[in-house]
Amino acid sequence: MWIEENNELVRKFEFKDFVEAFGFLTQVAILSEKQNHHAFITNVYNKVELRLSTHDAGNIVTDKDRTLAVAIDALLGE
C-alpha cells in the first residue's frame, strides 16, 4: 500500500530473493521510461522501496505520481 509522507508517495516491497526484486525493478524502469517519470529507488537484496514525487511541480505528489503508482501496482496484479 502506498502512503503519502513528506510530499512523496512511498511503498516498500519484499520479494522472494534478489533476482525477483531486480526483475520487478526492471519492469518499473520500463514503466517509468514510458511515462517519462522516474522514482527514487532503493534495493537491498529482496527489499525494494520506491518514492514518487514530481520534481517539476516543486517535489510534491501529483497525478503523475499517482498514475505511476497505479501502473506499478498492476505489475503485481493489484
* Mean pLDDT, range 44-49, rounded to an integer: 98
* Mean pLDDT, range 7-22, rounded to an integer: 98
Residue 50 in this model has a pLDDT that exceeds 90 = yes
Assigned C-alpha cell, 38 = 522516474
* Mean pLDDT, range 35-64, rounded to an integer: 93
Q: Among residues 14, 40, 25, which one has the least CA distance to residue 72?
A: 25
Q: How many CB atoms lie within 10 A of CB 53?
A: 21
Assigned C-alpha cell, 75 = 505489475
Q: What is the pLDDT of residue 14?
A: 98
Q: Where are the domains of the chain?
A: 3-75
Domain 3-75 of CATH type 3.30.1360.20? yes
In the structure, what pLDDT confidence band is assigned to residue 38 with cuts at 50, 70 and 90? confident
